[in-house]
Structure 1
Amino acid sequence: MIQRSRAVFEPFPPHLDIQEEVRASPRFEFAKRIPYDSINQYPREVLELFVITHVVKLGLPLVITGFDKCLDKSLFSEKWLQQHYASQTYDARDLGKRANLPLTLGHYLKNMSILTDPITSSTYARSNIQRLYLKDIDCPDEWHKALEKLIPSDFFYLNQSPLKGPKSPISQFPDPPQTPQGEVVARAGDLMGCLPEAMRAQNLMCYIGHEGTYTPAHQEMCASLGHNLMVEASDGSYEHGKQTRPGSSIWLMTGTQDRRIVSEYWMSMLGHNLDLENHFAQLNAWKCAPFTTYVVEQNPGDLILVPPLAAHQVWNRGTRTMKVAWNRTTVETLEMAFDEALGNARMICRDEQYKNKAIVYYALERYSELLRKAPASSHPEVRTLQEDFHRLFIIYTDILLSESFSKKSPAAKNIEFEKFESNITCSYCRCNIFNRFLTCPWCVGEGDDTYDICMDCYVLGRSCQCISKFKWVEQFPWKQLTGRHESWRQQIIAFEQGDRDPKIKHPPTLLVARSELGRKSLAEICQEQMDLRPWVDYKQPKEIKAATPSEDEGSDTDSRARKRRKSNGTKAPSGKGRCHMCKTSECLWKLAACEKCNLYYCYGSLFRSFDMLPLDAMQRPHWLCPKCRKICNCSSCRLDESMKPHQPFNILLGHDTRKIADPRSVESLVNMRLSNLALLKTFGDDNAGRLERLRRDEENRRQQQLAENDIHVGFDSPQAESVNDPPLAVFENQLPGIPIDPALELDGSFMGLG
């Protein structure tokens, strides 16, 4: 089996001069910083627009400095934690052993110098150094309340109405209208706040670390917008009879627009899967990377805003650092989550704590009620709320379309109803299930532990060992969901009619949208697959092998194919077909059949050789195989001069999802444990060329997104080409009527910075 070499963990030295590293590394640059003092000098709309443009649309990190001037030093301190939470027990993460160690907070804080002192310039690389990181612990309520009064309400945790928060910059517009109940008609700063309280993910967390502790490279969950404020750090004074080292944290970050090339670089060059969040990259790996790395040395009072889907890793320095972190969900991050992040998380079976589909539903309910009760108004905040309402409605339409049955809908008696309480997750990928899913009536464990599978996983070939004969379950009456869709559609039409723009195209009804879809829905595919896939008696389970080549990936694909043809012949047994790519004979339900030439391709070969998921073939009523598309990369087709063999863009290192999924699970279509390294070896395994192709694709995609968002980035010389400082035109185009201070020009002096 071909193995990709993996980069090993290499700690940062205590004497690292990050300023010099940035100066000496062409692809390193410091992230943009703006001072806290200047926030109140400008209308909240300017600050909010700058953050949306810079952090979300351009996907670049931002640092707001100077919060330490306003933090209560007696509250945000090691002494205060000792006095009030010393006896509280938490799980400290032993990074070396990758295990949790229960410790009281008082014991951990008191002994941080003991953990730090052994790490010196000559010993920091030793493998036996103990690194205990107190991470993901609940933020004290006292800190929560204090920060709520300090952080701009637009950016704080779970805020439903930024305009009425304890800390809201003054708006240059008149107060927006209110409902008869006194609710301000404005969009929420964090859509998580629209969920019922019991359904919300509690993600206001604290992180306390010492020299040598770290967070591996990762992306924020569900493409959310990350916030991290260092509230306190050791300053070199004496504590508990020992002198401390000044504390800070080094952040190495990427931009959202580089996410695909970053992921590929992690796999092809470092040998790790970025989505698994298990590798802290060496400093030299960042220096050699083919993308820009944004560097932040975080000190007390620095609030870092992390762009959605941007990879980043953190290294703690000194005796102690204490940080508070939270995430926000916005319309923009939801769109990214459904387009990309949730699919990636499902592939590696990362549980979805944020309940994104439920957020869409409940946010629409809340916004609809606000707009229905609000008096007619053209206030900018109301217009923005209406725009967000429409964008959420588009996501909601896609959700309903994916759950729509075919014309042969199951009878009502065959659909079980389970009231939605947000507590049902997929037994395989652990994603949160919003409405319809499949459950196995046979595989019921102790305590009524049912085996529930989401539609996405079932289409991928994941299920319990029974494979078929599942029962449908829904958590909302379908008429309720479709009724909400129509009423919300009528609201949007009313908004658009008020604009009196004849060019505006009203959103279609659900039936029209379904007819215009042009492909099968996810639920319809599940219906078809349950008819095709056999049922296996769970009392007498049979091994269900995925339709993949031999486990011996190190052997030559072409010679293996020739050997099988010689021994088994070219004709597959009755009821089976032979994969054109790997020559394996499989049951027809494990193969995708081409409508034009009747060739078969197993789903494992499509996945590894053509970057194609089973859904891509199943959802097309008239699917054409790679050979008919002239992109087949099998040994025989590569000899055909008319072919342009598809070269996979991404390396698949292989990930054993069975270790995470429910023990009753099987993979029947795609074996995720197998990689595509053997195929890439056939193409020469040109990592540099593949990364360059990705870089060009990303640049084209980025330019397209800038054009779609009407963001123009122009520069006088190649040396000045950087999107780190968005031009004045961004704000003039996006929010007309707001006076823009000259400090927003491209000289980097936004809000007094310069």
Structure 2
Amino acid sequence: MIPRARVAFEPFPPHVDMQKEVETIPRFEFAQSIPCDYINQFPREALNLYIRAWVVQLGRPLVITGFDKLLDKKVFSEKWLMQTYGNQTYDARDLGKGVNLPLSLGHYLRNMNKLTDRINDKTFNRSNIQRLYLKDIDCPKEWHQSLEQLLPSTLFYLNQDPLTGQNSPASSTPDMPKTPDGQTVARAGDLMSSLPEAMRAQNLMCYIGHEGTYTPAHQEMCASLGQNLMVEASDGSVENGQPTRPGSSIWLMTETKDRRIVSEYWLSMLGHDLDLENHFASLQAWRNAPFKTYVVEQKPGDLILVPPLAAHQVWNRGTRTMKVAWNRTTVDTLEAAFDEALSHARMICRDEQYKNKAIVYFTLERYSELLCKASANSSHPEMQMLREDFRRLFYLYSDILLSECFSKNAPKAKEIDFEKFESNITCSYCRCNIFNRFLTCPWCVGEGNETYDICMDCYVLGRSCQCVSKLKWVEQFPWEQLTGRYETWRRQIAEWTSGSNAKQRKPPTLLVARSELGRKSLAEICQEQLRARPWVDYKNPPAVTRVATPSDEEEGENNEARARKKRKSNGNKPAPGKARCHMCRSQEEVWKLASCEKCKLHYCYSSLFRSFDMLPLDAMQRPHWLCPRCRGICNCAACRHDETMAPYKPFNILMGHDTQKIADPRSIESLVNMRLSNLGLLKTFGDDNAERLERLQRDETQRSDASLVEQDICSDLEALQTGSVHDIHDAGDMQLPAQREQGNGTEHHPPHTGDGAFDAQSRPPGAIPIDPALELDGSWMDLSGFGEDFFEQAANAIGFG
């Protein structure tokens, strides 16, 4: 068996000098920071453009400093918190033991000095030191109300009206469009606000920690935008007769574009899965990392904006740090979630608390109503930007509906159960939130009539209850309602897609979009698999006869000997209803194999996943699937000696995460066993860790050539400098990504197919999402000399000055 070596936790020393670290480590640099005083001096539009370009599109962290001058010291203080909420009990996380410890807030605050004193230069690396972190606790309502008034509204939690807030920058256009009832027509700062209140995820949280507490490396949930404000910290003075240490937090952060390299580094070099959020990397690991690391030493009044999908970790210093954090959902983060984040969360079975598909639906309903009521102000810049967000959300909605389209042989209406959508149905396996159609088992009903519900993505992956088949379809919206909304919103977009916007294709009808898809929908694949997979009576399950394949077995001398012996005796024809996998040579039931359209060879889904980085969906969705051998990339023992082959080197590392510990106990995996590691298989291909990182770096360099991106931005700018505000908002920043090729070579307009298209620097020329209006002289991409002129120039460039 190949040992799964993992780097152990190594704490930061209390005396670490981050200034010196940045000066001596070439790949370390301080994150860009701006003072909050600048925010009120320039229009809201300029601030939004800058933050979107820097944090979202370039994917770099940003720090806005100086909010401590605006905070009410009487409310944002340790004394006020103890007096007001001291008797409230919370779960403090014992980071060393990995358990929760119920403590009253007053007791925790009074003993933070003792917890800190135990950690010094001689004891900081002892494993038995108690590290109690009060994290993910509800934010006091008084803090919520105060922050809502002093922070820019577009950055704050659940903001629906960008003009509210006493400290929010004013709009450059005082005549903001309004509906007849006086409602402002503008894009929301947080699309979570579009959901009915009962459906919203409550993510405004507080974090109170002492020296040595930390948050492991992670990405923000569902690719959302993270905001973290330190509201109070110990200042080194004497409190209650005891000296304190100055409080601060060290943030080590990465760029969005480096997310693949970061994930690979965590897996291959540190032995941990970044998606599991269970490892805090040592300072030495960050020093040796092959990617740029941004450093922030957060102090009271510092608001950190965290890019979507960018990994980061936090280390608390001093006697006390108190922070308020929240996440925002925007159109950009929704695209990133559907392209990448949700599929990663599904693989490790993480709750999808943000209900992304529901956000798309309810935001479209809200924006559609606003646009209809304010049609008289159609030329206003805010209306134009609202329309572009509406268009992008519509194509996300189109992808959702296309995935749920049945084949021509759709189930009859009486065969589909109806459950009214209340946002409370989650997949029993991966725990994602289910928007509309899903499968439920009529046989597996748990205690309290708990049904077994499986999302279509998981069922295609081979996840289900023990019954495997004969599951029943359920939907939460009448299909006519969803398609009716599609047609209504499509016509709205078609009405303004004319004249100067004629270059933009009008959205096709759902029937046309389905015909252009070039692949089977998720629902259609589930229909086929329900017919192909056998029903198993879970009360009388058959004996397990499946022989583990070499790709599934844990490597070892005895296992290798058994595998060789089986291959020698596998000359007989497969039993009826079975076929032999070309890769691992084991016999499997036909429904567990992908069959090549051309040569009729079979590959088991486990071999495709481990040896070719192919999910079952990749083979099932193609009407005419070609196997690796026909593609000339087969890496089986025989094909590796074929000179005409270019054997594929598997890239994905699977550490062997046991999802069944998280999934419903009734669950099984029938196609790919995710509990087993593939490290041994990778070793057989001679692919060591260093080579893998170098290969990924080469791929990423080719994918994201910064000089080419800058050239594209400049060329876009040159074409737009003579245009109107309308033209600028139509191009670059607001343009939909270029159409991608689908399975049959046709072009399909909805761009979100889960292939990492969110990467701003991997998009084709002409579809650069960075707003060209910000590009003035080519220097804005390096904002080390950022000053007051930037917002003014940006505002003038987009016509708001």
TM-score range, shorter chain: over 0.9
Matched ranges for 1:293-304 at <5 A: 293-304=293-304
Q: CA deviation at 1:470?
A: 0.3
SS of residue paired to 1:63? strand
Q: Indicate the residue corresponding to 1:249 in structure 2.
A: 249
> How far, CA to CA, are the matches of 1:251 and 1:671 in structure 2?
36
Q: Deviations over 1:593-620 (max 9, x none)?
A: 1111111111011111111000000000
Q: Indicate the residue corresponding to 2:426 in structure 1.
A: 425
Bigger mean CA deviation after superposition, 691-700 or 234-243: 691-700
> How far, CA to CA, are the matches of 1:693 and 1:322 in structure 2?
42
CA contact (8 A) 1:62 1:306 kept: yes
Q: Indicate the residue corresponding to 2:207 in structure 1.
A: 207
> How far, CA to CA, are the matches of 2:652 and 2:415 in structure 1?
42
Q: Indicate the residue corresponding to 2:453 in structure 1.
A: 452
Q: Indicate the residue corresponding to 2:324 in structure 1.
A: 324
> How far, CA to CA, are the matches of 1:703 and 1:558 in structure 2?
44
CA contact (8 A) 1:706 1:712 kept: no
> How far, CA to CA, are the matches of 1:142 and 1:387 in structure 2?
36
> How far, CA to CA, are the matches of 2:523 and 2:18 in structure 1?
52
SS of residue paired to 2:375? coil
Matched ranges for 1:461-476 at <5 A: 461-476=462-477
CA contact (8 A) 1:256 1:308 kept: yes
The amino acid of 2:771's aligned partner reads Q
SS of residue paired to 1:684? coil
> How far, CA to CA, are the matches of 1:753 and 1:116 in structure 2?
44
Q: Indicate the residue corresponding to 1:281 in structure 2.
A: 281
> How far, CA to CA, are the matches of 1:742 and 1:533 in structure 2?
58
Matched ranges for 1:640-719 at <5 A: 640-703=642-705, 707=709, 711=713
Q: Deviations over 1:515-563 (max 9, x none)?
A: 0000000000000000000101121134666974353323488755432
Q: Deviations over 1:612-664 (max 9, x none)?
A: 00000000010011111111111111111111111112211111000000000
Bigger mean CA deviation after superposition, 557-566 or 509-518: 557-566
Q: Give 1:734's match in structure 2, choosing from 737, 755, 771.
A: 771
> How far, CA to CA, are the matches of 1:275 and 1:546 in structure 2?
31
SS of residue paired to 1:82? helix
Q: Indicate the residue corresponding to 1:441 in structure 2.
A: 442
Q: Indicate the residue corresponding to 1:541 in structure 2.
A: 541
CA 1:742–1:570 in structure 2 vs 1: closer, same or farther (change >3 Å)?
closer
SS of residue paired to 2:569? helix
Q: Structure 1: 5+ residue runs without aligned partners?
A: 715-722, 725-729
SS of residue paired to 1:162? coil
CA 1:517–1:546 in structure 2 vs 1: closer, same or farther (change >3 Å)?
farther
CA contact (8 A) 2:712 2:768 kept: no
SS of residue paired to 1:323? strand
Q: Indicate the residue corresponding to 1:385 in structure 2.
A: 386
CA 1:449–1:706 in structure 2 vs 1: closer, same or farther (change >3 Å)?
farther
> How far, CA to CA, are the matches of 1:733 and 1:25 in structure 2?
30
Q: Indicate the residue corresponding to 2:784 in structure 1.
A: 748
Bigger mean CA deviation after superposition, 506-515 or 694-703: 694-703
Q: Indicate the residue corresponding to 2:597 in structure 1.
A: 595
Bigger mean CA deviation after superposition, 92-101 or 684-693: 684-693
SS of residue paired to 1:295? strand
The amino acid of 1:563's aligned partner reads K
CA contact (8 A) 2:581 2:603 kept: yes
CA contact (8 A) 1:39 1:751 kept: no
Matched ranges for 1:568-647 at <5 A: 568-647=570-649
> How far, CA to CA, are the matches of 1:712 and 1:206 in structure 2?
42
CA 1:583–1:747 in structure 2 vs 1: closer, same or farther (change >3 Å)?
closer
The amino acid of 1:314's aligned partner reads V
> How far, CA to CA, are the matches of 2:385 and 2:128 in structure 1?
55
CA 1:46–1:500 in structure 2 vs 1: closer, same or farther (change >3 Å)?
closer
Report the number of matched residues. 739
SS of residue paired to 2:142? helix
> How far, CA to CA, are the matches of 2:386 and 2:245 in structure 1?
48
CA contact (8 A) 1:56 1:308 kept: yes
> How far, CA to CA, are the matches of 2:569 and 2:778 in structure 1?
78
CA 1:166–1:346 in structure 2 vs 1: closer, same or farther (change >3 Å)?
same
Q: CA deviation at 1:739?
A: 12
The amino acid of 1:225's aligned partner reads L
> How far, CA to CA, are the matches of 1:693 and 1:569 in structure 2?
39
The yes-or-no answer on 1:375 pairing with 2:380 is no
> How far, CA to CA, are the matches of 2:601 and 2:219 in structure 1?
40
The amino acid of 1:514's aligned partner reads R
Bigger mean CA deviation after superposition, 167-176 or 521-530: 167-176
CA contact (8 A) 2:53 2:770 kept: no
Q: Deviations over 1:118-172 (max 9, x none)?
A: 1010110111100000000000000000000111011000001112344320222
> How far, CA to CA, are the matches of 1:300 and 1:220 in structure 2?
22
CA contact (8 A) 1:489 1:507 kept: yes
The amino acid of 1:640's aligned partner reads D
CA 1:2–1:35 in structure 2 vs 1: closer, same or farther (change >3 Å)?
same
> How far, CA to CA, are the matches of 1:735 and 1:239 in structure 2?
52
SS of residue paired to 1:360? helix
The amino acid of 2:587's aligned partner reads S
Q: Deviations over 1:445-490 (max 9, x none)?
A: 1111000000000000000000000000000000000000000000
The amino acid of 1:60's aligned partner reads R
The amino acid of 1:24's aligned partner reads T
Q: CA deviation at 1:565?
A: 2.4
Q: CA deviation at 1:241?
A: 2.4
> How far, CA to CA, are the matches of 2:61 and 2:494 in structure 1?
37
> How far, CA to CA, are the matches of 1:378 and 1:710 in structure 2?
28
CA contact (8 A) 2:191 2:329 kept: yes
The amino acid of 1:748's aligned partner reads S
Bigger mean CA deviation after superposition, 675-684 or 321-330: 675-684
> How far, CA to CA, are the matches of 1:341 and 1:227 in structure 2?
18
Q: Indicate the residue corresponding to 2:744 in structure 1.
A: none
Q: Compute the TM-score of the two structures, normalised by the length of structure 1.
A: 0.94
Q: Indicate the residue corresponding to 2:733 in structure 1.
A: none
CA contact (8 A) 1:62 1:305 kept: yes
Bigger mean CA deviation after superposition, 454-463 or 177-186: 177-186
> How far, CA to CA, are the matches of 2:769 and 2:685 in structure 1?
49
SS of residue paired to 2:322? strand
Q: Deviations over 1:491-532 (max 9, x none)?
A: 0011112x4443331110000000000000000000000000
CA contact (8 A) 1:743 1:750 kept: no
CA contact (8 A) 1:547 1:603 kept: no
Q: Indicate the residue corresponding to 1:515 in structure 2.
A: 515
Bigger mean CA deviation after superposition, 107-116 or 557-566: 557-566
> How far, CA to CA, are the matches of 2:775 and 2:174 in structure 1?
15
Q: Indicate the residue corresponding to 2:111 in structure 1.
A: 111
CA contact (8 A) 1:7 1:271 kept: yes
> How far, CA to CA, are the matches of 1:732 and 1:456 in structure 2?
29
Bigger mean CA deviation after superposition, 447-456 or 502-511: 502-511
Q: Indicate the residue corresponding to 1:413 in structure 2.
A: 414
Q: Indicate the residue corresponding to 2:756 in structure 1.
A: none
> How far, CA to CA, are the matches of 1:285 and 1:739 in structure 2?
36
CA 1:546–1:373 in structure 2 vs 1: closer, same or farther (change >3 Å)?
farther
Q: Indicate the residue corresponding to 2:503 in structure 1.
A: 503
CA contact (8 A) 1:546 1:670 kept: no
CA 1:713–1:2 in structure 2 vs 1: closer, same or farther (change >3 Å)?
farther
SS of residue paired to 1:711? helix
SS of residue paired to 2:150? coil
Q: Indicate the residue corresponding to 1:43 in structure 2.
A: 43
Bigger mean CA deviation after superposition, 302-311 or 533-542: 533-542
Matched ranges for 1:349-368 at <5 A: 349-368=349-368
Q: Indicate the residue corresponding to 2:233 in structure 1.
A: 233
CA contact (8 A) 1:49 1:731 kept: no
The amino acid of 1:30's aligned partner reads F
Q: Indicate the residue corresponding to 2:492 in structure 1.
A: 491
